[in-house]
Amino acid sequence: MTLILEPETAVAHAWWWRTGDGSPEPADLALLSADERARAARIVHPATAVGFVAGRAASRRILSELLGVPPGDIGLGRRPCPGCGDPLHGPPAVLHPESPLWISISHTNGCGMLAVARVPVGVDVEGVRDFPVEELAESTLTGSESRVVLGAPDRPARTRAFLRAWTRKEAVLKAVGVGITTDLRAVETRPESSGPVVVAAGVPGTPASWTVTDLAVPDAWAAAISIPAGSAPTGSVPTGSVPAGSDGSRPEIHLRVHA
């Protein structure tokens, strides 16, 4: 798996895994730092705590294979926020060992994801569930997004369209490193398109535009991944990969299941 460090490999790799709703696995907790264990203990909802612990442990196990060090030696932290410079809420980062990799971590009920790349990367996964799309649209969607989402033929279709827009926004803003602190109504994701789509985030000091691709996770979830425009795939990503072009110039995104 160390091939990810080679320049000619895929632009980004993503892994997804299932999580439970009971108690965190002792083997997972053992891989977390003291600060992470304290954070997990403060989480009120058991499923959220399990997702957080499983996500940090799974990320270390995957990164261990990529970097050739034991998972317990992987130090996770954050890069400084590009908006304010605060080191406490920037994008996640591998602090130890030193590496050229960028990472992004996401989890929702029943599923977690890690994205890894040699360029800034963002990933988001959300559970497909019933929620007030009409109410949320006003505060989270652009005008054109609202017309697409609210114009869908039935409630399940509106939910899917909303989650396509939402996960794309989250993936971009997580790649930028500011999260959803920005005005979501200023981020246009073209949910009518199956993608990939180019999205502008408008945060100074970061790439001007991002290519966002929907990820083919099981139907219980919706997910998207974002990388700087110019190094993006040209179609939606199935489990596996989008193959490179005949000249080797077309970038790839690989999606795998982490057992």
Residue 78 and residue 197: Cα distance in Å, rounded?
A: 27
Q: Output the CA torsion sign for 230, 63, 87, 7.
A: negative
Q: What pLDDT score was predicted for residue 21?
A: 81
On whether the CB atoms of residues 191 and 97 are closer than 8 A, the answer is no
Q: Give the closest residue to 164 by CA, choosing from 189, 135, 197.
A: 189
Spatial CA neighbour of 127 closest among 110, 104, 105: 110
Q: What is the radius of gyration, based on Cα positions, of the chain?
A: 18
SS3 43: coil
Q: Can you tell me the mean pLDDT for 123-142? A: 94
Compare 119 and 86 and report the one with higher pLDDT: 119
In this structure, the chain runs to a length of 259
What does the pLDDT read at residue 241? 32
Could you identify the residue written with the tokens 């193959």? 243
> Residue 123 in contact with residue 108, Cβ under 8 Å?
no
Measured in degrees and rounded to the nearest 5, phi and psi for residue 210 equal -130, 140
Average pLDDT of the chain is 86
Determine the pLDDT at residue 205: 67
pLDDT score, position 247? 32
| Pairwise CA distance, residues 147 & 159, whole Å | 13
Tens of pLDDT, residues 82-114: 777 777 778 899 999 999 999 999 999 999 999
Structural contact between residues 100 and 116, judged by C-beta atoms closer than 8 angstroms: no
Where do the DSSP E strands lie in 9-162?
Answer: 12-18, 75-78, 92-96, 102-108, 111-117, 122-127
**Maximum pairwise Cα distance, the chain:** 52
pLDDT value, residue 168: 96
**Minimum mean pLDDT among 3-17, 29-43, 173-187, 237-251: which range?**
237-251
Instruction: Give yes or no for a contact between 126 and 223, defined as CB atoms under 8 angstroms apart.
Output: yes
Range 186-194 contact pairs with CB under 8 angstroms and sequence separation of 24 or more: 186/142, 187/142, 188/142, 188/144, 188/145, 189/145, 189/164, 189/165, 190/144, 190/145, 191/145, 191/148, 191/149, 191/161, 191/162, 191/164, 191/165, 192/148, 194/236
Share of the chain above pLDDT 90, in %: 68
Q: What is the pTM of this model?
A: 0.88
Task: List pLDDT tens digits, range 190-207.
Answer: 999 987 999 988 776 678
